[in-house]
């Protein structure tokens, strides 16, 4: 019986569960029906609004890439500008543009020279131009920044950036303590005199180089080898530094091995790449059309400018700067704290592209207080022209100027004339005009030019005087009778016959004056030709005289010798 009871109980339990489930579903349906009915009441009774808050939700731009990192912390001059759908984020450029505006942080192998390595990379990537951030000797390894095509514009600034090295020095004799070597390294900090080593392909001229910091990492007394780290100025010779360490210790020393650990902003840990990586990445792109490897090997040039202070410009001002316009305050959107006079800064777009490297002419404090003026002057333009459209000449002042030119209130070049209103002359500042200081500097040059002009004008005045002299002589020769007759006239008390004769002679002279003038012009021309021929002949005569004098001297010498 027990076997029969069990299935019945199971069936009863299943039925109960089904009934309970159906009840729950019915409740849900009722609640849904009730909810749908009461929606209007809930909406009528409830308060639905965006409540005001004292805090504004801030963007977290700490993870934004390259030059846009922490851009929300920049000072805002104005937030109003018209975005232009040109250009792109440096990381999202097309692969052809990406390569042209990129650089490689290369781990240079030992034995080939820096120029050879750069030439190989140019051949692998099939690019037009490549440059590097400072020559490494053939045996030296480490960071070598290779700039491609448009990024070569930054090569000069990278070459002058600071460098860091790890080297091995071999001492010729043993030392008593390891401390002696560390003290010698400490003494060789600051400005040092250096003469390039014999191996260097540079003029061996004494020069001053600064070593900022140095420390001893390890010393092996058995093999007399010391490993040290140095942070120094560009152009420092570590080979000569090792020789100087040996001289200071009195045991002598030489460099055994060297590796560059950092070049400018980039170090060993900042995506260092080998030659094989570059070759493989290009092969993947050529055969499998896979860009990802090239994008990991090559980086946008903006990464080299991360340490510079930033100015963010409006999209409408970008192309004007590419054409060499001054960086003015009205085109500025944001600026960074701590900008000092004559500091090297980078000018960027709203998308984070580098437009140019510039030299600051205003500090952060001045920028915040002024509303017009030149913020910075361009040092090196990086962006290609016409990446953004031309937008100059469309502003309020420029359009007003065009209207005034049409009405005739300004001349065709936009400069004030007689009908220009006085208010325009006072208000309008022409930044393209040279300042008074520059004009004052140019004044002595102009005087010098005028003096040279006057010197060159002297011969022409002399010629004129000569011509006048010739004319006077001809006229004197033509009128001897006239003067004698005047004397007779005075003597005789003025006879009528003499007077009539004098009048007739005067009329004849007037008639012949035209012909005399023509003759004098011809005579002067002939004289000029004669003078020229004489001038041409004179140097030949002088050379003949000189040769004759030399011959005479030789004869005298022979006679004295005999």
> How far from the centroid of its chain's Cα atoms is residue 296's Cα?
28
- 491 part of the active site: no
**Using CA atoms in the order 136, 141, 143, 145, what is the torsion angle rounded to 10 degrees?**
50
Half-sphere exposure of 121 (CA within 13 A, CB side): 36
**Among the listed residues 305, 265, 295, the one whose alpha carbon sits nearest the alpha carbon of residue 143:** 265
DSSP string, 257-293: EEEEEEETTEETTTT-B-HHHHHHHHHHHHHH---HH
Residue with tokens 């339990």, as numbered in its chain: 13
**Among the listed residues 361, 369, 265, 384, the one whose alpha carbon sits nearest the alpha carbon of residue 311:** 361
Q: In 3-state terms, what secondary structure has residue 23?
A: helix
Bridging pattern class, strands 75-76 and 332-335: antiparallel
Beta strands in 77-204 (DSSP E): 102-108, 130-132, 141-148, 163-171, 190-194
Residue 193 φ then ψ, to 5°: -80, 135
Tell me which H or E stretch contains 533: helix 496-561
Buried residues in 88-114 as b, exposed as e (16+ CB within 10 A): bebeebeeebbbbbbbbbbbbeeeeeb
39 conformational bin, left if phi > 0, alpha if psi -120 to 50, beta if neither: alpha
Look at the alpha carbons of 285, 288, 289, 291 in this order and tell me if their dihedral is positive or negative: negative
Length of the chain: 562
**Among the listed residues 390, 386, 380, 385, the one whose alpha carbon sits nearest the alpha carbon of residue 301:** 380
Half-sphere exposure of 70 (CA within 13 A, CB side): 10
Cα–Cα–Cα angle for 543, 548, 549, nearest 5°?
100
Catalytic residue among 137, 220, 277, 280: 137
Instruction: Report how far residue 250's alpha carbon sits from residue 69's, in angstroms, rounded to the nearest whole number.
Output: 51
Instruction: Report how far residue 325's alpha carbon sits from residue 333's, in angstroms, rounded to the nearest whole number.
Output: 17
For the record, the structure tokens of 303 come out as 């990464």
Burial class (CB in 10 A: 0-12, 13-18, 19+), 49: exposed
Instruction: Report how far residue 153's alpha carbon sits from residue 363's, in angstroms, rounded to the nearest whole number.
Output: 26
Residue with tokens 């749908």, as numbered in its chain: 36
3-state secondary structure 302-368: HHHHCCCEEEEECHHHHHHHHCCCCEEHHHEEEECCCCCCCCEEEEECCCCCEEEEEEECCCHHHHH
Catalytic residues: 137
């Amino acid at each position: 019986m027990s076997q029969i009871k069990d299935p019945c109980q199971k069936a009863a339990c299943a039925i109960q569960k089904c009934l309970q489930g159906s009840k729950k579903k019915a409740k849900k349906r009722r609640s849904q029906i009730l909810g749908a009915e009461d929606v209007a009441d809930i909406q009528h009774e409830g308060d639905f609004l965006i409540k005001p808050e004292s805090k504004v939700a801030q963007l977290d731009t700490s993870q934004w890439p390259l030059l846009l990192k922490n851009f929300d912390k920049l000072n805002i001059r104005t937030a109003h500008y018209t975005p232009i759908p040109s250009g792109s984020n440096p990381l999202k450029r097309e692969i052809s543009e990406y390569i042209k505006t990129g650089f490689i942080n290369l781990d240079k192998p030992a034995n080939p020279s820096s120029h050879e390595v750069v030439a190989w990379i140019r051949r692998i990537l099939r690019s037009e131009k490549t440059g590097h951030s400072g020559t490494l000797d053939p045996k030296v390894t480490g960071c070598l920044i290779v700039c491609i095509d448009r990024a070569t514009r930054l090569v000069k600034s990278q070459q002058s950036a600071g460098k860091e090295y790890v080297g091995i020095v071999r001492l010729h004799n043993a030392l008593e303590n390891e401390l002696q070597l560390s003290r010698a390294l400490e003494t060789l900090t600051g400005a040092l005199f250096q003469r390039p080593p014999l191996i260097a392909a540079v003029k061996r001229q004494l020069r001053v180089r600064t070593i900022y910091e140095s420390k001893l990492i390890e010393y092996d007394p058995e093999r007399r080898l010391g490993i040290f780290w140095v942070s120094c100025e560009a152009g420092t010779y570590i080979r000569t530094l090792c020789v100087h360490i040996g001289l200071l210790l009195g045991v002598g020393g030489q460099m055994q091995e060297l590796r560059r650990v950092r070049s400018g902003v980039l170090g060993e840990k900042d995506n260092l790449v080998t030659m094989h990586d570059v070759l493989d990445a290009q092969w993947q792109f050529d055969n499998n059309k896979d860009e990802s490897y090239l994008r990991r090997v090559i980086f946008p040039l903006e990464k080299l400018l991360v340490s510079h202070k930033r100015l963010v410009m409006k999209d409408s001002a970008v192309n004007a700067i590419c054409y060499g316009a001054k960086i003015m305050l009205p085109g500025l959107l944001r600026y960074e704290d701590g900008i000092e006079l004559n500091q090297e800064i980078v000018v960027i777009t709203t998308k984070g592209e580098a437009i140019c490297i510039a030299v600051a002419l205003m500090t952060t404090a001045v920028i915040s207080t002024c509303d017009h003026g030149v913020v910075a002057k361009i040092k090196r333009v990086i962006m290609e022209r016409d990446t953004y459209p031309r937008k100059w000449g469309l502003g309020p002042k420029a359009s007003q100027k065009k209207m005034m030119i049409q009405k005739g209130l300004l001349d065709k070049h936009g400069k004030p004339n007689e009908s220009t209103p006085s208010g325009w002359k006072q208000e309008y500042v022409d930044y393209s005009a040279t300042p008074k200081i520059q004009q004052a500097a140019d004044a002595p040059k102009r005087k010098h030019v005028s003096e040279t002009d006057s010197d060159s004008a002297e011969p022409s005045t002399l010629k004129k005087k000569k011509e006048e002299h010739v004319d006077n002589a001809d006229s004197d020769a033509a009128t001897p009778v006239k003067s004698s007759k005047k004397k007779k006239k005075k003597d005789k008390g003025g006879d009528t016959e003499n007077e009539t004769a004098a009048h007739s002679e005067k009329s004849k002279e007037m008639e012949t004056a035209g012909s005399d003038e023509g003759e004098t012009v011809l005579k002067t021309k002939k004289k000029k030709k004669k003078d020229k021929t004489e001038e041409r002949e004179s140097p030949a005569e002088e050379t003949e005289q000189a040769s004759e004098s030399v011959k005479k001297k030789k004869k005298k010498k022979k006679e004295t010798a005999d």
